[in-house]
Amino acid sequence: MAAKAQALESATLAERFAATRALSRALAAPLSDADATIQPSPEASPTKWHLAHTTWFFETFVLRDHVERYSARDARWAYLFNSYYDGEGARHARERRGMLSRPSLGEVLDYRARVEDALLEALPSLPTEATELVELGINHEQQHQELMLTDMLSAFAENPLAPAIWQRGARHEEETAPGGRVGFAGGIHEIGHQGSGFAFDCEGPRHPVLLHPYSLDQAPVSNAAWIEFIDAGGYRDPSLWTADGWAWVQANGIAAPLYWSRDPDAVWQRFGLDGLRPVDRAAPVAHVSWYEADAFARWAGARLPTEAEWEAAAADLDPCGGNQLDAAGAVAPRAAASTGGLVQMFGDVWEWTASAFLPYPGFRPQEGTVGEYNGKFMVNQFVLRGGSCATPRGHMRASYRNFFYPHQRWQFCGLRLARDV
């Protein structure tokens, strides 16, 4: 019976592995070798590098370490495609990834196929330790699928032709975003992952937190509200900004969300993976930094929620709902109709919180090199919750903690307002 259950588990894992790998290929399918090689900024990586790095992860931590007589496709590639694992030795500089014209995109895709075949062949006989690493690798690749999309967007935004990767999705009829608020009682709540199913180490241990009564806006802040902020001089009023935020605004000439511009008639437009389009006023604002989110909240007479408030509010909601990534195409935040409760908690835009990315009480990173996955980044970053339109459906859960530096905004980052009650 135990052997049968293990075989079923392996088969399910094999199917999820194959589906994840296939989605990565589909996302990259419209790209030329040149498209997949360019790097628009040090914080973004070429698509080709993402495809190779996620393959290196499986080759290194599963095949190399747990499959006898496995030989690497090219031992030199470990230097190219290691990201930040110091335990794996020296690596190519992150800001120079766009210089890797070789291996070609075709060679990287062949590399992926070779590793996929080897892993699927080995999977039924892998020990539990190794199958857990396969599960981690699947979730790791899903994270990189979102990064691939946002990095593609960043790369094509540099092109004066404003090329569209995919056609625009179906229009939605909502003209305004939901405008209500939902209240929550205070008291002792528990946050953090619990029960069965995968979670990253930073999502635990589960622990109690004290919350005071609060409310959350029914929907994320909309583009229409952000235009009001701009028109009211929000980017020109230092009283709304933290000291670091105001210095960032001044040094970089920030006056609108990333990828926004005005057309000759002074109408706001935004660039996306579907090309240059008029700003959808009812859709959630995206590509704003924590600095901008915090300033907007102060301007609106509100604040950003803590991650504990956000998680307590989302605990009973469907994490697979909303506008998330199902397949290549139509990746953009969109408007939602009011349901009387919270909407768009999952999907559309990651929501900045007021919480620093720090370890939960009792947190211990995993032993070995994979322990570098999250723990080493628990400094100077803020937590985001809820996923985005570029997050693969099924990857998200209420306890999921994303994190970025306060100035970063090339991801689909937005916000939802909170208030004390």
pLDDT per position as a tens digit, 106-133: 999 999 999 999 999 999 999 999 999 9
Separation of alpha carbons 251 and 261, rounded Å: 19
**pLDDT tens digits, one per residue of 333-358:** 999 888 889 999 999 999 999 999 99
List every span in the chain annotated with CATH 3.90.1580.10. Answer: 181-420
Q: Tokens in use for 197?
A: 């199913």
**Peptide bond preceding 40 in cis form (omega within 30 of 0):** no
Q: In the chain, which residues have pLDDT < 70?
A: 1-11, 168-174, 370-373
What pLDDT, on a 0 to 100 scale, did the predictor assign at position 390? 97
What pLDDT, on a 0 to 100 scale, did the predictor assign at position 74? 93
Residue recorded with tokens 């040149």: 34
List every span in the chain annotated with CATH 1.20.120. Answer: 2-156
Separation of alpha carbons 1 and 9, rounded Å: 12
Residues in the chain: 421
Tell me the CA distances in angstroms from 167 to 147, 164, 347, one per residue in order: 20, 7, 20
Q: What is the DSSP string of 26-89?
A: HHHTT--HHHHH--SSTTS--HHHHHHHHHHHHIIIIIIHHSTT---S-TTHHHHH--S-GGG-
In this structure, which CATH number among 1.10.10.10, 3.90.1580.10, 3.10.620.30, 3.40.50.720 belongs to the domain 181-420? Answer: 3.90.1580.10
What pLDDT, on a 0 to 100 scale, did the predictor assign at position 96? 96
What pLDDT, on a 0 to 100 scale, did the predictor assign at position 11? 52
Question: In the CATH scheme, what architecture does the domain 2-156 have?
Answer: Up-down Bundle (1.20)
What pLDDT, on a 0 to 100 scale, did the predictor assign at position 172? 60
